[in-house]
Amino acid sequence: MLPAAARLTSSADFQRVTRKGRRAGRPRLVVHAVTERKQATTEADPRATWSTVSPRVGFVVSKAVGNAVVRHRVARRLRHLAAARLGTLRPGTALVVRALPAAADATSAELGQDLDAALRRLHLAVDDNGGEA
């Protein structure tokens, strides 16, 4: 399950990521991504400082993918795959994963391969040492 803090929920966030972000297309999905930083203040320094926020993910599965049963199945699979990859994403990353009609017939493994390839193409995954994977 995707934690509440890791979900994109507002339409403004979806719009910002899809319009201003970079994108990587794969046969079964398209991933839109932006890296954001949140402004915070500390008592020691009243001036604003920048701190990174945890990665957040949202999903778009339109009627072009299939009927409600198929759309929900695709969305569940994508949520599960994204939750497993949250720890490998750069801090401050906001993703929108848009399923294409070919996702309806895809297995979880195929969707995972497309998601991993898109994340690599966007240079968003980090390894255990904090560097790019």
Q: Which residues of the chain have pLDDT under 70?
A: 37-52, 126-133
> Tell me, what's the pLDDT at 45?
52
CA 34 to chain centre: 9
DSSP assigned state of 90: P
CATH of the domain at 45: 3.30.230.10
Domain count, the chain: 1
> Is residue 51 included in any domain, yes or no?
yes
Helix (H) or strand (E) holding 83: helix 68-85
Residue 101: inside a domain:
yes
**For residue 51, what are the domain limits?**
4-121
Rounded to two decimals, what is the model's pTM?
0.82
Q: Is residue 128 part of a domain?
A: no
Radius of gyration in angstroms for the set of CA atoms belonging to the chain, rounded to a whole number = 16
Residue 36 located in a structural domain: yes
- Given the structure tokens 């046969």, which residue do they identify? 27
Residue 99's SS3 state is strand
Q: What is the pLDDT at residue 98? A: 97
Kindly state whether residue 40 falls inside one of the protein's structural domains: yes
Q: What is the pLDDT of residue 91?
A: 82
Residue 42 within a domain = yes
Q: Does a structural domain hold residue 10?
A: yes
> Is 15 a domain residue?
yes
Strand, helix or coil for residue 92? coil
For residue 52, what is the enclosing H or E element?
A: strand 48-52
